């Protein structure tokens, strides 16, 4: 078939389509978003009526995908690394229920925190759940391993985690696709109690998962994606994982003088690594993220001479890159010229004309009247309200935490405690916090800044669209204290008055300033012209 120039995320999406998926389930989050968007726009996926709608959050995505797997179909789940925290409950238990139809979970990690709160390494989740992990080193492998992951999942009867990082996700390379597989026919589990995790059943399933660990390791030892590549210089052995292998080949022009074990499937290929350790004087581990392999080696090799992120041979944080790898070998690396003082980095800012600007202008004007006022915010475009010129928010921790942190502060006696959350983040994980607040009659004011899309990740349709007032009423907010307004400069005084009135109200109030994201409005207008 004709070779295509694809991003890593696009290669995964095409690999899933050609691998016979019946559904993709995801919540947008950089650097994973484009996987689902590619499938949503794929003519192949549309023709086959592959499920491709966004989920409310990562937990619902994981659970829905498990339901599709239960029915014998192949399901893809996509999220960024912090989304794994949201999905962890189902993820951990899915390792025990096992999979029926193939189930591949994509975790897109973000070392260097380009658009994230932390650098967590999703391989730890895979090890925690005791399931196989795949880690492609280039775009072709991303395509091939996605297809392979579904086969592996069905062969072993377990979900498979495929971990990528930002640089692989968002760089392009040639990818040669293969003939697409047909979707699975519906096939229900033979054991009707397989997915019923009552303790008596779960204990048996967990023992079965433990028994499978030998088979998982054998698969890694025999995987076409794990390789032992001999080298003449035995003074050092290299273990290169995922994209780290690509960087190693770049540094040595494809001819590394040292023996190398390329790791792209976990659990670790113990036979290869033991052979490498026994035939070399010391080991260098090239891995992006946590020192997962480095720590494991120090646990089961009688070899103290293991180098990597823990001893400073490679940086402990941030992305791995070819310069880091070159320095680890004592080779020269190309240093760019120092940045001139005249070049000042431009911080991110809310778009000119963004509705969040009008919300923060009014909010700042009102909270200035209250010496102890604190504003608890959340994950979204509106997080930029922490920066000049607004400097309007005092927290941003995780999805949904604005409402619950405001409630906790109010429980401690803080007044006023204001929450700012976006429409999509509210339906992602803010609703349960609102329920707590209503049940306990918390004295908080919640601003759901509604721009009618998931704007921070590209304007995807929000699950909240058209539902916010009904959700708030259904949860129990007094309808008189659900206030909706168009946030534009001419309504500044009215918005200030509403915020002030609801702060003074002793109970839960919800203010919904609603105006469509200007970037989404511009894109929609262009589409209409076509």
173: pLDDT confidence band, cut at 50, 70 and 90? Answer: very high
**pLDDT at residue 298 greater than cutoff 80:** no
Q: How far apart are CA 161 and CA 152, in angstroms?
A: 11
Give the pLDDT mean for 35-53: 96
Report pLDDT for 296: 86
Give the pLDDT mean for 57-66: 89
Report pLDDT for 303: 59
Percentage of the chain exceeding pLDDT 70: 99
Report pLDDT for 340: 85
Cα-trace Rg, the chain? 25
* Predicted structure pTM score: 0.76
Report pLDDT for 302: 58
Give the pLDDT mean for 204-230: 95
Q: How far apart are CA 6 and CA 366, in angstroms?
A: 49
Report pLDDT for 409: 86
Q: How far apart are CA 448 and CA 438, in angstroms?
A: 16
Question: Within 10 A of 322 (CB to CB), how many other CB atoms are there?
Answer: 16
Name residue 283's beta-bridge partners. Answer: 237, 306
What is the phi/psi pair of residue 144, to 5°? -65, -40
Q: Are 145 and 118 in contact (CB under 8 A)?
A: no
Q: How far apart are CA 364 and CA 414, in angstroms?
A: 18
**Mean pLDDT of the residues in the chain:** 92
Q: Which residue's structure tokens are 């390791």?
A: 217
Report pLDDT for 483: 97
Determine the length of the chain.
530
Pairing of strands 417-422, 374-376: parallel
Report pLDDT for 523: 86
Give the pLDDT mean for 143-150: 98
State pLDDT tens for residues 264-287. Answer: 999 999 999 999 999 999 999 999
171: pLDDT confidence band, cut at 50, 70 and 90? Answer: very high
Lowest mean pLDDT among 75-89, 197-211, 365-379: 197-211
Give the pLDDT mean for 479-507: 97
Report pLDDT for 364: 96
Question: In 192-239, which ranges are continuous DSSP H helix?
Answer: 199-211, 213-221
Lowest mean pLDDT among 113-117, 259-263, 418-422: 113-117
Report pLDDT for 485: 96
Q: Residue 195 has which token pair?
A: 């997915």
Q: How far apart are CA 105 and CA 92, in angstroms?
A: 12
DSSP state of 232: S
299: pLDDT confidence band, cut at 50, 70 and 90? Answer: low
What is the phi/psi pair of residue 421, to 5°? -140, 150
260: pLDDT confidence band, cut at 50, 70 and 90? Answer: very high
Q: Are 271 and 228 in contact (CB under 8 A)?
A: no
Report pLDDT for 33: 95
Q: Residue 378 has which token pair?
A: 């959340």
Report pLDDT for 279: 94
Pairing of strands 306-307, 482-485: unpaired
Q: Which residue's structure tokens are 């899915």?
A: 94
Percentage of the chain exceeding pLDDT 90: 69
**pLDDT at residue 347 greater than cutoff 90:** no
**pLDDT at residue 300 greater than cutoff 70:** no
- Of 168, 185, 166, 37, the C-alpha closest to 109 is 166
Q: Residue 422 has which token pair?
A: 């976006």
Q: Give Cβ neighbours of residue 289 (< 8 Å, ≥ 6 apart).
A: 109, 111, 119, 120, 121, 122, 123, 165
State pLDDT tens for residues 422-434. Answer: 999 999 888 988 9
Give the pLDDT mean for 334-355: 84
- Cβ-in-10-Å burial (0-12, 13-18, 19+) of 306 comes to buried
**pLDDT at residue 486 greater than cutoff 70:** yes
Q: Which helix (H) or strand (E) holds 436?
A: helix 431-439
Helix-strand-coil percent breakdown of the chain, rounded to 5? 45, 15, 40
Give the pLDDT mean for 310-327: 85
Q: How far apart are CA 62 and CA 413, in angstroms?
A: 38
- Cβ-in-10-Å burial (0-12, 13-18, 19+) of 137 comes to buried
**pLDDT at residue 100 greater than cutoff 80:** yes
Could you check whether the bond before residue 501 is cis, i.e. omega within 30 degrees of 0?
Answer: no
Rounded (5°) CA angle 17-19-23? 50
Q: Are 225 and 145 in contact (CB under 8 A)?
A: yes
Report pLDDT for 295: 87
């Amino acid at each position: 078939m004709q070779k295509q120039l694809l991003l890593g995320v696009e290669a995964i999406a095409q690999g899933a389509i050609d691998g016979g998926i019946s559904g993709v389930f995801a919540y947008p989050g950089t650097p994973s978003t484009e996987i689902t968007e590619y499938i949503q726009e794929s003519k192949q996926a549309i023709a086959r009526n592959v499920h491709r709608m966004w989920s409310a959050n990562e937990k619902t995505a994981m659970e829905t995908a498990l339901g599709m797997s239960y029915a014998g179909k192949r399901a893809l789940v996509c999220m960024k690394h912090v989304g794994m925290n949201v999905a962890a409950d189902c993820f951990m238990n899915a390792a025990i229920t096992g999979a029926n139809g193939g189930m591949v979970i994509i975790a897109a990690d973000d070392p260097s925190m380009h658009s994230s709160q932390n650098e967590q390494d999703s391989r730890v989740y895979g090890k925690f759940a005791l399931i196989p992990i795949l880690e492609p080193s280039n775009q072709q492998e991303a395509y091939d391993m996605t297809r392979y992951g579904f086969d592996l999942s069905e062969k072993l009867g377990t979900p498979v985690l495929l971990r990528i990082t930002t640089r692989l996700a968002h760089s392009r390379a040639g990818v040669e696709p293969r003939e697409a597989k047909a979707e699975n026919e519906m096939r229900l589990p033979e054991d009707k109690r397989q997915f019923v995790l009552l303790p008596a059943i779960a204990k048996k399933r967990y023992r079965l998962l433990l028994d499978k660990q030998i088979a998982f390791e054998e698969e890694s030892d025999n995987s076409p994606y794990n390789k032992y590549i001999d080298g003449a210089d035995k003074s050092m052995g290299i273990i290169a994982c995922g994209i780290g292998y690509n960087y190693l080949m770049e540094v040595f022009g494809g001819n590394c003088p040292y023996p190398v074990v390329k790791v792209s499937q976990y659990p670790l290929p113990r036979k290869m690594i033991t052979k490498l350790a026994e035939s070399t004087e010391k080991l260098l581990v090239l891995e992006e993220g946590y020192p997962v392999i480095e720590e494991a080696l120090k646990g089961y090799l009688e070899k103290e001479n293991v180098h990597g992120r823990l001893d400073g041979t490679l940086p402990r944080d941030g992305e791995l890159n070819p310069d880091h790898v070159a320095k680890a070998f004592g080779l020269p690396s190309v240093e760019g010229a120092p940045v001139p003082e005249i070049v000042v980095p431009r911080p991110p800012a809310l778009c000119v004309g963004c509705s969040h600007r009008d919300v923060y202008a009014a909010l700042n004007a009102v909270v200035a009247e209250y010496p102890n006022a604190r504003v608890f915010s959340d994950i979204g475009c509106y997080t930029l309200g922490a920066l000049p010129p607004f400097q309007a928010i005092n927290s941003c921790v995780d999805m949904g935490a604005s409402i619950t942190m405001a409630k906790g502060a109010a429980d401690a006696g803080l007044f006023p405690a204001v929450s700012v959350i976006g429409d999509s983040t509210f339906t992602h994980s803010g609703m349960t916090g609102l329920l707590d607040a209503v049940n306990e009659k918390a004295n908080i004011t919640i601003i759901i800044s509604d721009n009618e899309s998931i704007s921070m990740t590209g304007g995807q349709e929000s699950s909240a669209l058209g539902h916010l007032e009904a959700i708030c009423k259904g949860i129990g907010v007094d309808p008189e204290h659900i206030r909706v307004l168009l946030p534009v400069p001419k309504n500044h005084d009215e918005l200030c008055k509403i915020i002030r009135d609801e702060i003074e109200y002793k109970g839960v109030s919800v203010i919904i300033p609603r105006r469509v994201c200007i970037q989404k409005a511009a894109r929609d207008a262009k589409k209409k012209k076509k």
